[in-house]
Amino acid sequence: MAVFDTPEEAFGVLRPICVRLTKAQTVETVEQLQAQLQAVSDSALQSLQQYVLFPLRFTLKTPGPKRERLLQSVVECLTFVLSSTCVKEQELLRELFSELSACLYSPNSQKPATVSEELKLAVIQGLSTLMHSAYGDIVVTFYEPSILPRLGFAVSLLLGLAEQEKSKQIKIAALQCLQVLLLQCDCDEHPRSLEELEQKQLGDLFAAFLPGISTALTRVITGDFKQGHSIIVCSLKIFYRTVGFIMADEQLRSISTVQEKPAVEHRVAKLIVHREADWVKNTSAKLTILLTKIIEGVSAHPHWKVRLELIELVEALLSKCSQSLVESAGPLLKALVGLLNDENPEVQAQCHKVLRHFADEKVVVGNRAFADVLSEHLHSLATSLPRLMSSQDDQGKLSTLSLLLGYLKLLGPKVNLVLNSVAHLQRLSKALIQVLELDVADVKIVEERCWNSDHLSAASPKASAARPWNQIQRRYFRFFTDERVFLLLRQICQLLGFYGNLYLLVDHFMELYHESVVYRKQAAMILNELVTGAAGLEVENLHEKHIQTSPEELREIVASILEEYTSQENWYLVTCMEAEEVGEELTMPLLGLQAITSGSHTFQVTSFPAFSKPSPAICSMNSNIWQICIQLEGIGHFAYALGADFRLLLMSALYPVLEKAGDQTLLISQAATSALMDVCHACGYKSLQHLINQNSDYLVNGISLNLRHLSLHPHPPKVLEAMLRNSDASLLPLVADVVQDVLAALDQFYDKKATSFVSVLHTLLAALARWFPDTGDLGQPQEQSVGEKGSHFRRRPAALEKGLEESTTAEDIEQFLLNYLKEKDVAHGNVSDSDNEEEEPSDPPTVDENDMGPDVEPPLPVQIQIATDVMERCIHLLSDKSLKIRLKVLEVLDLCVVVLQSHRNQLLPLAHRTWPSLVHRLTNDDPLAVLRAFKVLRTLGGKCGDFLRSRFCKDVLPKLAGSLVTQAPVSARAGPVYSHTLAFKLQLAVLQGLGPLCERLDLGEGDLNKVADACLIYLSAKQPVKLQEAARRVFLHLMKVDPDSTWLLLTELYCPEPLKPPHFSLHPVQLRGAASQHNPYTANVLLLLRELQ
């Protein structure tokens, strides 16, 4: 709290110091005065204001050179007095203003005096404090024409400091002081709002400073980025507030054509500006040049606050000066729309806010001049867009397209003024068509194939719900690579569809669609986005009174586009070189299991030739693939645009889309799947299964009709495939007749269309196996008996081991040998009649009362009948000349066995008929076919069991064993690359399958010995690790069948401990493995012997 609260007390303390300062001006005296002033209350100091200011002002006005330190102390003390008091006299305000400004006056130069930075800062703060201390209306009366010279000097002084000083602190202080002088300060002490007449007088006064302020601030704004963003932000604020105040439309409308003569000197009167029409026009033209420089320098400024302030500049000038600065509307709007997609979210948000404000206030749409300027800019931009897209980098393209997007947003419904002009529409459409040109030279597009289409059935409702509806496939364009560029192009097309005349746009782009194949993909992309925009999806509507396209009109437009998309010439395009059309096959020079014996170097997979440059055929197929994908995406977008109304178009859209869902080209299949999921969500279906089941009658009818005219409609199998993958068993009764039609068509066109028919049969059998899983495994009882037998064999060594621990008598050994001989006789079939009589069942067989009789069989289930019919076709197709068909038929055959496993009466005769062809595939075919055939053999062995034992042992086992023995030295010498060869895969598949086959077929001792001898060499540590593991698994299966023989064979290789006889009367047995040292088989033998015990 101050010590001196009354003027009398304060005067008594301050008088001696003031007198001393008047007599001798020293820094110490000024500092003493300032120290005493801090102890005086504000009210007391207000009464003594002029008395205290006198010695300070006297010091400033004393002629002659003064020390800078003294001047700085005086100015700081004077500033302290002004900050604690109010200036109530206009003359005192003017004099103090002049005296403070003179502190930086340099008589020899127009620039500020070369004094210390501290003094400059003190003077700037003093001027700012002086203007804030002015009381009431004194501030307004201060700005009279007579003050022009003094005010002009101060303004130029501050501008010089802001432009030329290196100190950032001085620059900011000078700009803030300039704000105060121009009545732009945002602080609470700012004077009251001005009346209209006062605003006009101040505008006339400040107009004299406009050229100097605008040019100097432009130089500051467009200067080096390193000066700091705060200086540029402050300069921008002063610029647009000053210009917005002087060039405000409200003020200029009240300016008379005749200038009033002010009561001032002639010299001062010449400085006063009359803001008549010619002056406004000339000033606007010059300001346009400055604004263009500012926008070019600031639009790409690295600091987001500078770009944010630029938005404020555009909003202020377009809102207040829409008539006076009409020539600047183009650059200003360009700056605004160029920041629509700024990387900073705050800048984006503010930009959208300003655009919405302009739309609500009809700043652009309601201003004919602005609308004309925007239309002209849009036309100019559309004309130069192709050139810019081919010459600019991606960042430049982003800026250009952001500009185009902003123009469309600002024009809103007024965009039809541009579109109704034929020239404008043609230039804009051709620009979009050219920019969206795809790069179709990538060979991978046509190479990527979809062999099983599992992704279609894997598309769950939850997964598809998480996918954005407007997500599209990644595509590559000729003129840009950045995804954001494509996003902007999509938004531009959507806005055109939202605000433009949809009938006009669709007709125009449909003409381009028909005009040339080169335009077709781009036109389809644009049409898709036009419909999306017309529905208002993902479109920001800045014009609330805009009337959208009605649902009925939108549905009519979609129906016409959909009809064009799915027409014969646009839907069934050549997308691949079909083998059944061209006759090219992938063949291997070395065939069958015999090829394994010649070494790994013989297995070279034949691939497509490597194209050094894409051929025209490849580019054409790539182009067709992308066209179909774009049209499929369009159907998905149409579904979302129409919502539930798309159900009315479902009859014409679902069948073609399902055709493409089964396409072999990966991109097409993915696009069709995505479109189906879009249709599901738009039409209210829970899943693809629900969609297909609800429309299955229509789909089945279409398939049946098209199968009768297969030459005209070759794709019904693909639709049936898609249905089977995405439905359940309830579909089977409906498609049973269609399956018979498919089999009949296969019989008729097996030489031309076998590939597509075999593919649909594979899907059908896979669906049957999925819908009707077998509850009981036929192989299970057999495996149980084998397991029991194996356990019986395992108990015998355990008894002997127990005998070693305890005392084994000669009678125990005799009984053991008798049991062994008896079981051996049983195994060889030497059984006496008495034994047979004992084993004959005594109970008579029971008769089922419900038995239908020996000649009446119950009807077969539908799935069994279908599987039987399909397997009969497979028997004939196993010998087809096409490797691709043979491989597919083997897969179908494998599924047929799985489906028929519960009906042995149908399975076994078919297996008997299949066997010769299957053996041929196993022993004399391409290695790929051998692998598939061996898989079928494993399945047959598991389901048919004993039925195949003799056939397998006679026809297949010798060649399998021989191939393993022959190839073993090759794999032992091979390096790590060998594991990627087909020879290795064949070896591995045979080793992995032999064990289960031996167990399931319950092979005899001789055949087991063949298997064991062939696999024994693969227990060597020299073999690849995977082959060693597979060989160990073979011996594990052999242990279940004949553990004794397996044990003997392994111990012949390596015996870890010498064997002791169970009785002293028996001689010790000497095995070859007992005397041998560690060898390559030791590790694997030890592992197997440990498992056997």
* pLDDT tens, residue by residue, 159-213: 999 988 888 999 999 999 999 988 888 776 665 577 778 888 888 888 899 999 9
Task: Report the Cα–Cα distance between both ends of the chain, in Å, rounded.
Answer: 102
Residue 804 pLDDT grade (very low, low, confident, very high; cuts 50, 70, 90): very low
**477 by DSSP, 3-state: which?**
strand
Report for 106-115, 439-448, 854-863: range of highest mean pLDDT? 854-863
Percentage of the chain surpassing pLDDT 90? 24
Tens-place pLDDT, residues 651-664: 899 999 999 988 88
Least confident window among 289-293, 450-454, 703-707: 450-454
Closest CA to 759 of 452, 1042, 407: 452
Q: List Cβ<8 Å contacts ≥24 apart for 594-599.
A: 594/923, 594/924, 594/963, 595/927, 595/983, 596/927, 596/963, 596/966, 596/967, 596/983, 596/986, 596/987, 597/963, 597/966, 597/967, 599/970, 599/983
Q: Looking at residue 596, what is its pLDDT?
A: 38
CA 986/CA 964 separation, integer angstroms:
9
Closest CA to 312 of 292, 290, 339, 330: 339
At residue 445's C-alpha, the angle toward residues 440 and 450, to 5°, is 155
Q: Which amino acid is at 50?
A: Q
Kindly tell me if the per-residue pLDDT of 847 is higher than 70: no
CA 812/CA 86 separation, integer angstroms:
129
CA 119/CA 79 separation, integer angstroms:
12
Kindly tell me if the per-residue pLDDT of 419 is higher than 60: yes
Q: Looking at residue 604, what is its pLDDT?
A: 35
The dihedral formed by the CA atoms of 605, 610, 614 and 620, expressed in degrees to the nearest 10: -10
Kindly tell me if the per-residue pLDDT of 852 is higher than 60: no
CA 804/CA 1058 separation, integer angstroms:
14
Tokens 């060869």 sit at which residue? Answer: 981
Q: Looking at residue 869, what is its pLDDT?
A: 92
Least confident window among 30-44, 470-484, 801-815: 801-815
Closest CA to 62 of 31, 32, 24, 29: 24
Q: What is the largest CA-CA distance in the chain?
A: 154
Tens-place pLDDT, residues 561-573: 999 999 989 998 8
Per the document, the length of the chain is: 1093
Tens-place pLDDT, residues 1024-1065: 999 999 999 999 988 888 888 888 888 877 777 767 777 667
CA 1054/CA 878 separation, integer angstroms:
45
Work out the burial of residue 620: count CB atoms within 10 Å of its CB; fewer than 13 is exposed, 13-18 middle, 19 or more buried.
Answer: middle
CA 858/CA 861 separation, integer angstroms:
9
Kindly tell me if the per-residue pLDDT of 521 is higher than 90: yes
Kindly tell me if the per-residue pLDDT of 786 is higher than 70: no
**Cα-Cα-Cα-Cα dihedral sign, residues 22, 28, 34, 35:** negative
Work out the burial of residue 238: count CB atoms within 10 Å of its CB; fewer than 13 is exposed, 13-18 middle, 19 or more buried.
Answer: buried
User: Mean pLDDT over all residues of the chain?
Assistant: 81
Q: Which amino acid is at 58?
A: F
Structure tokens at 1082: 């030791």
Kindly tell me if the per-residue pLDDT of 240 is higher than 90: yes
Q: Looking at residue 266, what is its pLDDT?
A: 67
Task: Name which residue leads in pLDDT, 749 or 483.
Answer: 483
Q: Looking at residue 614, what is its pLDDT?
A: 53
Beta-carbon-side half-sphere exposure of residue 673 (alpha carbons within 13 Å): 26
Tens-place pLDDT, residues 604-657: 333 334 334 455 578 888 889 999 999 999 999 999 999 999 999 998 999 999
Q: Looking at residue 1075, what is its pLDDT?
A: 55
Tell me what the mean pLDDT of segment 973-989 comes to: 89
Task: Name which residue leads in pLDDT, 1070 or 349.
Answer: 349
Q: Looking at residue 107, what is its pLDDT?
A: 64
Q: Which amino acid is at 560?
A: S
Q: Looking at residue 662, what is its pLDDT?
A: 80
Kindly tell me if the per-residue pLDDT of 603 is higher than 60: no
CA 757/CA 932 separation, integer angstroms:
19
359: left (phi over 0), alpha (psi -120 to 50) or beta: alpha
> CB count, 10 Å around CB of 848?
7
φ and ψ of 1058, to 5 deg: -65, 145
φ and ψ of 438, to 5 deg: -85, 155
* DSSP, res 609: P
> CB count, 10 Å around CB of 938?
18
Buried b / exposed e along 623-656 (16+ C-beta atoms within 10 A):
bbbbbbbbbbbbbbbbbbbbeebbbebbeebbbb
Tell me what the mean pLDDT of segment 984-1002 comes to: 88
Q: Looking at residue 294, what is its pLDDT?
A: 93
Q: Looking at residue 555, what is its pLDDT?
A: 93
Q: Looking at residue 608, what is its pLDDT?
A: 38
Q: Are 5 and 41 in contact (CB under 8 A)?
A: yes
Task: Name which residue leads in pLDDT, 1084 or 592.
Answer: 1084
Residue 1080 pLDDT grade (very low, low, confident, very high; cuts 50, 70, 90): confident
Tens-place pLDDT, residues 86-97: 998 888 999 998
